[in-house]
Structure 1
Amino acid sequence: MTQPYYRLKVLAVFLLAIYCLAFFRADSTQESMIRVILLEQNEGGWTVGLLYQAPEASADSSKASAEIQFAAAQDSTLEKALTAAQEALPQAANYRLCDYLLLAPGCSWQTLGDYEALVLAQQCGRTAASVQVCGFDCEELSAESEESEKVLASLLDTAKEAAEISSHLYEKNLSQGLLLPRIVLENGEAALREDSFFLTQSGGAEWDSERTELYRLLTGQGGVRRFWPDGHPLELRRCTISVTCHGAGEFTLRLDCHTAAGQTPDSRYTQWLAEACTRAVKELWAEGVDVLSLGSYQALREGESAYLTPTKNACPQLRTDVRFTTVL
């Protein structure tokens, strides 16, 4: 390959890259990038709030700003409310970066179903979006955003922070219930609470921090689990869960947990955690949730006819063994 031809080829590739970058920037300034959708449902209809970034048009697109903004609209149906909210945007809505769905007080399992159906029909969101609940509605958020310049940006940051412990929209089709983190507004900013909201087909309930952490532990969620037995801190990392079915209605749950550095395992904590886990499994079973999939374990061992379900069977006998290992 001759030197002039090589230089010409490099120049062509460079010019193509510049053109593609300029095209991408120009295209992005013509769309409102939806980051968070807030759904509110009550007897009067639907309210949809859109947290979005809309770069202002500029002769130099590299100087376009993309601050977080908020638009909301109300109507009789979800589709109409969403359409009205989109019409309030400065540019056409783009849901490519819409990773978070917030449910305002009063939303239900049916709210998720209606929104998921609309997403599949109109691509107005993502089924992989993280689902969270909030302690405010669209009107309160709008009012707060007028008083505080930081509230919308902090809401997006808090939603990102909560994503690790959030359920996804598509999981409603795979689970008996969804444990959702709670976001509130405090002092002009959004904040993530330690408690949570458990949503099922039959309704929802607020859970305190202890029950929230027990559920995350029993379902094998990653991260650090924090408890306060007798007012003393107990921090668990890298917990391994195993379930053994010994026969019809007899199970053993084993937990192998690493405690935080500097925390010496205590037999009192071992007993406390074992009792707390057993109690949580039984309480959830009474509420229609088989958190450990005990029914499936028994069906695998005894046959499909032995499958257990909380709606038809009493909670089986469960013994919980806990073992702590200190991380040095």
Structure 2
Amino acid sequence: MKHASRTARWMAGCLLALWCVAFLRAETTEKSMVRALFLRQAGQGWTVSLLYQFPEAAADASDAEAEIRACTAEGETLERAIQTAEQALPKTANYRLCEYLLFDEAASQTELLEVQEFLQTKPVGRLSARAFLVEQTAPLQQQAEPLLQCAEDHAAGAPHLYEAAGEMILPVVGLEEETAALSKESRLLTAQGSAPLSLEETAMAQLLQEKLPVSFELEESTITLRRCVVSVEAEGNGFAVTLTGQRKAGTPPVSEMQCRQLEALCTQTLARCWENGLDLLHLGAVRALKQGSREKLTTKNAYPAVRVSVEMLEF
């Protein structure tokens, strides 16, 4: 009786081991793990590049070590282009690790909204995926790995796709022959296309969105703010914006002149975003909270008067 029980346990252990091996092979080495989608719209069609790993990528680990490759296809619709690209993969596509959506530098908010609607019904990506624009001057096949690495390194500063319901600021990755690097400039996406933001405007937009730390080049010196509290109040027919910041430890104190420069830059950035359809500080919502539904302020209205003040906290 004991011998039969021991044999049964041994057979059960063997079956469990075989099942685990089969499961691991089915979920890892037998899949083409798509890590990012590079989407470009041309005329009435789409060009889709799948950045994937095969065959050593793990289906449940984000630190897979297999080489990043690119598979590109075209189609009259986004769905057809993706299906054609999937057919060219060595194994069945798996999107479990697809965390980045890359768009051509000429993309508009309309394209992002179309992709967002598509992903709500097709499991080829996540609405929480981070979005980037790509300036491409080198073949994607040769630069797929540095492109993905750059997106991973700077993911914290990129918006999620589900934020595309309104105008949004996207970071830009420059793809060259030997490297991929994040541009110091960014682009503001609207329904009509995209508007560039300068290095200084990009830094201020990051500060106002509380994506810290952020650095500014002022008076031939660099100041880095590690913390900043942004407060907005309705003030008469306009608004009062106060930035209360704290510099990074070990950096020189921020002078009064530099504070005034930051105030001017903040005013400039808010106005530029407003003109392109983005209410960066939600001024319309602030006005509605104070005055109720009697008056609705949107970016279709003229840019309101905004008084900006910058204060610095010492250690």
Fold shared, TM-score > 0.5 on shorter chain: yes
CA distance in 1, matches of 2:306, 2:111: 35
CA distance in 2, matches of 1:36, 1:319: 42
Counterpart residue identity of residue 267, structure 2: T
Deviation for aligned residue 1:67: 1.9
CA distance in 2, matches of 1:113, 1:152: 25
Please name the residue that 1:40 is paired with.
40
Instruction: After TM superposition, list the pairs within 5 Å mapping 1:231-310 onto structure 2.
Output: 231-247=220-236, 249-262=237-250, 263-310=252-299
Q: Decide whether the 8 Å contact of 2:106 with 2:194 is kept in 1.
A: no
Deviation for aligned residue 1:21: 6.2
1:321 aligns with 2:309: yes
CA distance in 2, matches of 1:26, 1:310: 52
CA distance in 1, matches of 2:77, 2:148: 26
CA distance in 2, matches of 1:161, 1:56: 22
CA distance in 1, matches of 2:151, 2:82: 21
Q: CA offsets per residue over residues 26-53 of structure 1, 9 Å max, x none?
A: 4311111100100111126211000001
Runs of 5+ unmatched residues, structure 1: 58-63, 146-150
Secondary structure, counterpart of 2:84 in structure 1 = helix
Counterpart residue identity of residue 294, structure 2: S
- Aligned to 1:209, which of 199, 210, 217? 199
Q: Decide whether the 8 Å contact of 2:216 with 2:224 is kept in 1.
A: yes
1:156 aligns with 2:145: no
RMSD over aligned CA atoms reads 2.7
Secondary structure, counterpart of 1:264 in structure 2 = coil
Structure 1 pair 305–233 and aligned structure 2 pair: CA distance change class (3 A): same
CA distance in 2, matches of 1:250, 1:325: 26
Deviation for aligned residue 1:117: 2.2
Runs of 5+ unmatched residues, structure 2: 58-63
CA distance in 2, matches of 1:17, 1:269: 66
Secondary structure, counterpart of 2:107 in structure 1 = coil
CA distance in 2, matches of 1:67, 1:307: 52
Please name the residue that 2:190 is paired with.
200
Deviation for aligned residue 1:106: 2.8
Structure 1 pair 14–195 and aligned structure 2 pair: CA distance change class (3 A): farther
Deviation for aligned residue 1:305: 1.2
CA distance in 1, matches of 2:42, 2:26: 40
Secondary structure, counterpart of 1:121 in structure 2 = coil
Instruction: After TM superposition, list the pairs within 5 Å mapping 1:1-150 onto structure 2.
Output: 16=16, 19-20=19-20, 23-43=23-43, 45-55=45-55, 66-136=66-136, 140-142=139-141, 145=142
Aligned residues: 302
Deviation for aligned residue 1:18: 8.3
Structure 1 pair 199–106 and aligned structure 2 pair: CA distance change class (3 A): same
Q: Decide whether the 8 Å contact of 2:101 with 2:129 is kept in 1.
A: yes
TM-score, normalised to structure 1, is 0.84
Deviation for aligned residue 1:180: 0.9
Structure 1 pair 75–187 and aligned structure 2 pair: CA distance change class (3 A): closer
TM-score, normalised to structure 2, is 0.87
Q: CA offsets per residue over residues 236-284 of structure 1, 9 Å max, x none?
A: 111111111133x132111111112232121111111112112222232
Q: Decide whether the 8 Å contact of 1:183 with 1:191 is kept in 2.
A: yes
Structure 1 pair 52–215 and aligned structure 2 pair: CA distance change class (3 A): same
| Greater displacement, 26-35 / 45-54 | 26-35
- Aligned to 1:189, which of 154, 179, 193? 179
Q: Decide whether the 8 Å contact of 2:188 with 2:273 is kept in 1.
A: no
> Alignment identity in percent?
36
Q: Decide whether the 8 Å contact of 2:254 with 2:312 is kept in 1.
A: yes
Deviation for aligned residue 1:204: 0.5
Q: CA offsets per residue over residues 10-36 of structure 1, 9 Å max, x none?
A: x98998588536622443111111001
